[in-house]
Amino acid sequence: MYNVQVHIGEMLARNARMYPDKVALVERVPAENKRIAITWREFDRDANKFSQVLREMGIEKGDKVMHLMFNSIDWLVAYFGIIRTGAWVVPLNFRFTAEDIKYSADVAEPQVFIFGNEFADRVETVKDTLDYVEKFICVSENDEEIPSFAQSYSALLSGANSDPLDVDIAFEDPCGLYFTSGTTGRPKPILLTHKNMEHVCISENRHHLQTIDDVFVLIPPLYHTGAKMHWFGSLIVGGSAVLLKGVSPEWVFEAVSEEKGTIVWLLVPWAQDILLKLDSGELKIEDYELSQWRLMHIGAQPVPPSLIAHWKRYFPEMDYDTNYGLAEGTGPNSVHLGMENIHKIGAIGRPGFNWETRIVDGDDRDVTPGEPGELLLRGGGVMREYYKNPEETALALRGGWLHTGDIVRQDEDGFIYIVDRKKDVIITGGENVYPVEVENFLHTHPAVRDAAAIGIPDERLGEIVAIVVESVPGKEITEEEIMTFCEELPRFKRPRKIFFGEIPRNPTGKIEKPKLRRKYTGTEGALGF
């Protein structure tokens, strides 16, 4: 089966033909005691309808459709509908500000913009500057909440033809423009192809052996090239997904128990929260049907080995896995621990299925085994390019290899361990925080002369954001004032620790982060290990 090329839009159609009445997607909103389910036939039908809506709006192969929504069944219906037109889907981070939306739209130049009504204010702020957007579509349960400049998604879908479009899609054709943040703090546009998407379906299925009977409980945001791509390993064989909107230990256990979940992808904080409640007795395994839960895996941040040892005390028969990936590699699986290698927890693993790795020095020469170097990747998931950025593309894809910017080492058994990051990204609770964004914001405070953001190791979140503040001579500023000032930032970007002191800079004006880390964390590396 792995030699047959089938793009993800056709995988959906195939599932609808083979398993029409099987539940494909479940949406659970525990806070509202709400549950919605659709079959593969209904999923396929609605994706066809949305593709027909877009065709009526003039969308053709190679056009772009911007997509800004919270996790939902409608998110995935719209996503697959866009792909079936041959257009590029441009999913946005739901944490993006109006400024981020404007920047991303200016790069992508979408003809159509679909958004959830929760984002109407942000979209309306910038809509008049988006001259290239011809149509706005709003997804809402209540048509009265749809802004005047947009059309109703539900009304458009209800009147649409459900016949499939006849579009010639080649595997080298682009299908997705995913924005992630770069070291400058600006979201980077990563262009992915249909071949990239098929690759991740196959590699994920090969790694975790999903079958039609698997039920993937999907919690992280769908805009990210992470958990959605893990579920693609189930999509290829007709396995279902449960979209859990909101996360708590009880809600996770309820979803697994009531939906017969078999696979759950967690972030470190979520796993720790579950363990804390199990330890305290607030959560009891025997109150739920969890025997079918066969795999828990974690990604997006370093995983403390002690956490997994703790987890295995409660779930000794459950498989565990971790994966390393990045958006430039279509998300997960470029490096893969493997369910059989729990004795190597702490490593990110070995090259994943259909991947190669190298570890090199600053001149792209292979380092001696055991020595640290930059991780390079080559495989079916490597992006086509950074869209409209040939300079960054050339730097990232030198010599036929994707340069990750991550510093790693390899042990005698071939397992790879993260050592540090060349980039100063801070990963807190699975979310990337780029120091320059926080630093630039702090520079707008009249009493701040200079500021530097660094990551401090944290057992629960992986890292937390800390800032070092140098005040303007003659002006005083308190920790409380800075904390209040930073409330304008998204919550995950707000500092948890504040230090006051001089900011060291080198002769070219760059902040000497290693000096700050040594002073305030006792380590030189960005991760503190």
**Coil vs helix vs strand at 46:** helix
Over residues 138-147, mean pLDDT: 94
Helix and strand tally (H, E) in the chain? 15, 26
Query: What pLDDT score does 181 carry?
Result: 56
The chain-wide mean pLDDT, for the chain, equals: 91
Give the pLDDT score at 298.
Answer: 87
Query: Residue 421 has what pLDDT?
Result: 62
Confidence of residue 3 (pLDDT cuts 50, 70, 90): very low
**96 vs 187, which has greater pLDDT?**
96
- Assess contact for 435 and 453: CB atoms under 8 A: yes
Query: Strand pairing partners for 467?
Result: 453, 498
- Strands 416-421 and 373-379, bridge-based pairing: unpaired
End-to-end CA distance of the chain: 42
CB 113 within 8 A of CB 102: no
Whether 424 has a pLDDT exceeding 50, the answer reads yes
Instruction: Delimit the domains of the chain by residue range.
Output: 8-355, 426-521
User: Which tokens hold the place of 372?
Assistant: 């640290």
Domains 8-355 and 426-521 equal at CATH topology level: no
Mean per-residue pLDDT, 28-55: 98
Match 């969308």 to its residue by tokens.
59
Of 254, 347, 260, 250, give the one whose Cα is nearest residue 308: 347
Q: Which residue has the higher pLDDT, 506 or 80?
A: 80
CA distance 295 to 247: 18
DSSP string, 436-468: HHHHHHHTTSTTEEEEEEEEEEETTTEEEEEEE
What's the average model confidence in pLDDT over 141-157?
95
Per-residue pLDDT tens digits for 345-376: 889 999 999 999 999 998 999 999 999 889 99
Name the least confident of 106-120, 154-168, 366-380, 448-462.
448-462
pLDDT computed for residue 423 by the predictor: 64
Dist. CA 290–CA 311, nearest whole Å? 14
What's the confidence (pLDDT) of residue 274?
A: 94
CATH superfamily for 8-355 is ANL, N-terminal domain (3.40.50.12780)
Between 299 and 376, the more confident residue is: 376
Q: How many CA atoms lie within 13 A of 421 on its CB side?
A: 19
What is the pLDDT confidence band of residue 402, given thresholds at 50, 70 and 90?
very high
Cα 389 to its chain centre, rounded Å, is 21
Within 10 angstroms of residue 57's Cβ, the number of other Cβ atoms is: 17
User: What dotted CATH number matches 426-521?
Assistant: 3.30.300.30
Q: What percent of the chain has pLDDT above 70?
A: 94
Judge contact between 493 and 434, C-beta under 8 A: no
Q: What digits encode the pLDDT tens for the residues 479-508?
A: 999 999 999 998 889 999 999 999 887 544
DSSP state of 303: -
